[in-house]
Amino acid sequence: MKAVRYWSVNNARWLRWVYKGLETCLTTIYPLLKWLGYQRLDSGFFAVEKLVKGFLFDSKSCGQCTLGETGMACPMNCPKTLRNGPCGGVRANGNCEVDPDMVCVWVTSWEGSKRIGNPESTIQVIQAPVDVRLKGTSAWLRAVRKNWGVDE
């Protein structure tokens, strides 16, 4: 999975474009999704997300996706699950202090953000801590509700 994860970061610009397009499509059909009911749709959306994001980004399905802000690199791959930058233990070669065979998630995240363009506007946004109650739920449906200004 690491090879596909690194491929995704190397192709972050167009993957983010596709990701934003999907979000726009889902936001457009918000009334239909609302009518069908989010509770009913969540498990199906989550299953598709888990498959797609799991393959492309090695996503850990936290339910609070930050791929667009982190250069298409899932920060939950950090062994310490840090969502706001490296822990300070990044080795001189850019690898993780916990898993020396793995490139630090935040090194790849920064590279992906540079590929997307203007990394300061996305990667430097402070992310909220993970809400473990949302693990296993659809981040896509949550983004649609947020875009429509609907609170959780």
Average pLDDT over residues 97-125: 86
Q: What is the 3-state secondary structure (H, E, C) of 19-78?
A: HHHHHHHHHHCHHHHHHHCHHHHHHHHHHHHHHHHHHHHCCCCCCCCCCCCCCCCCHHHC
Over residues 22-67, the pLDDT tens digits come to 999 999 999 999 999 989 999 999 999 999 999 999 999 999 998 9
What does the pLDDT read at residue 89? 81
What does the pLDDT read at residue 55? 96
What does the pLDDT read at residue 152? 57
What does the pLDDT read at residue 30? 93
Over residues 60-91, the pLDDT tens digits come to 999 999 898 889 999 999 999 888 888 888 99
Predicted structure pTM score: 0.85
